[in-house]
Amino acid sequence: MDTCLFCKIVRGEIPAHTVYEDDATLAFLDIHPVNPGHTLVVPKRHSFNLLDIDPADWAAVAESTRHVSKLVHDVLAADGINLQMNNREHAGQDVDHPHVHIIPRYRGDGLPHWRGKSYQPGEAEEIIAKLRAAHA
Ligand code: 5GP
Ligand code: ZN
């Protein structure tokens, strides 16, 4: 994709701090880190997000994410790791190329966790029936 920001980073047309690279994936520092070492893992082949990525590309991203998470955790002496992937605009996706955020976490770093809601009576059963029917 000519105009895609992360395709341009993959092609080397825009500079980035590369953390890790293999045939199918690239991992580089996020330009606005939540914590230092915040890394993005992307497939080299363009798609939009988790909803249209080729399964083989996703498998490669998943394995690179595991590898780089351990690297970031161990080398930066993190106390934990969060993974986040925003898929589509209303989930917070700004760049339309799949990317997994690897965020090193530190004791007392103050980042809030999202809050859980509660199901209304019957709501979980309704949802599970829809999801299971789609798999039948
Ligand atoms: P999203 O909101 O789409 O999940 O995340 C996009 C991420 O890309 C943001 O965290 C943002 O800081 C990062 N980003 C945007 N432009 C650039 C860039 O030119 N270089 C790098 N390394 N990261 C970028
Ligand atoms: Zn792209």
CATH code for the domain of 21:
3.30.428.10
What's the whole-number average pLDDT of the chain?
97
DSSP bridge pairs for 29:
39
> Structural domain tally of the chain?
1
Q: Would you place residue 105 in the very low, low, confident or very high pLDDT band (cuts 50, 70, 90)?
A: very high
Specify the pTM: 0.97
List Cβ neighbours of 101 (8 Å cut-off, separation of 6 or more): 30, 34, 38, 39, 40, 82, 83, 84, 85, 86
Q: What is the pLDDT of residue 113?
A: 93
User: Average pLDDT for residues 94-110, to the nearest whole number?
Assistant: 98
Ligand showing the shortest atom-to-Cα distance for residue 47: 2
Q: Whole domain around residue 17: which residue ranges?
A: 5-135
Atom 18 of ligand 1, nearest CA residue: 31
Atom 21 of ligand 1, nearest CA residue: 31
Q: Would you place residue 35 in the very low, low, confident or very high pLDDT band (cuts 50, 70, 90)?
A: very high
Ligand 1 atom having least distance to the Cα of 14: 19
